[in-house]
Chain A
Amino acid sequence: MAPGDEAAERSAAIETIKSLVGNNKVMLFMKGSKLFPQCGFSNTAVSILRACDAEFETFDVLSDYLVREEIKNYSSWPTIPQCYVNGEFVGGSDILLEMFESGELEKTLAELKK
């Protein structure tokens, strides 16, 4: 791929990320899909959000290597899954799990419904 093409594709990937984060109250960047997670940590994140009865969108980073790379820069976070709530980065599956266990996640998600 010519350097100019790649730069344009990277910009497009970043715009995709911004759009997904901005348009969805709960956004999960994961490996696999909501129905078929392809990573144990991504599966954990989906299970937790389901357990909170959250409405959430997912993006399969395995389907787009540029989004997979750029989301790590966008969030300054090195691993997948990555969860955004109301446009703000919350964390990966470990953080979601701790927030779920403490009740903090449900409280945060309930605030979104107001």
Chain B
Amino acid sequence: MSNSATSAKRDHSAQLGGPIQSCIERKLQAALVPAHLQVINESHSHNVPKGSETHFKVVAVSSMFEGKALLARHRLVNGLLSEELEAGVHALSIVAKTASEWEKAEGVVPPSPACRGGSQK
């Protein structure tokens, strides 16, 4: 994907994003200074009311992940978003890569699995 297409896509989703999505983007942008960042609200794919901000996917490429094992990278992102996770985000799918890993993966992100009903509360 070209840089302009990526940033255009990011701007588009930012325009449509709710307050929690915007907050997540701001926090991760500031803390990770990422080469690539996508914050995707996947709530619509789940058994929750329309307009929810409960299920997110974060794709981040950052030098902050260098030398860190997978678990440490995820704990870093979880820590940055602890307020959102306390407040109502209850699913957070994370792809956390260094620039060289992202290049090797050719920017391909595995799709999130389909909902299977959840707790239906």
A contacts, CB < 8 Å to B? 31-32, 37-44, 62, 76-79, 89-95, 97-99
Contact = CB atoms under 8 A, between A and B. Distances in A.
Interface in B81-105: 82, 85, 90-95
Contacts of A38: 116-119
A39 B116 contact: yes
A52 B71 CA distance: 20
Given A91-B70, A97-B110, A43 B93 contact: no
Given A79-B92, A91-B74, A94-B93, A62 B119 contact: yes
A47 B44 CA distance: 24
B74 A41 contact: no
Contacts of B90: 78-79
B74 A40 contact: no
Contacts of B116: 32, 37-40, 42-43
A89 B94 CA distance: 17
Interface of B: 70-71, 74-75, 78, 82, 85, 90-95, 110, 112-119
A98 B114 contact: no
A62 B116 CA distance: 13
B115 A39 contact: yes
A94 B74 contact: yes
A34 B102 CA distance: 33
A95 B70 contact: yes
A40 B92 contact: no
B42 to A, nearest CB: 10
B112 A40 contact: yes
Contacts of A91: 70-71, 74
A40 B114 contact: yes
Contacts of B114: 40
B85 to A, nearest CB: 4
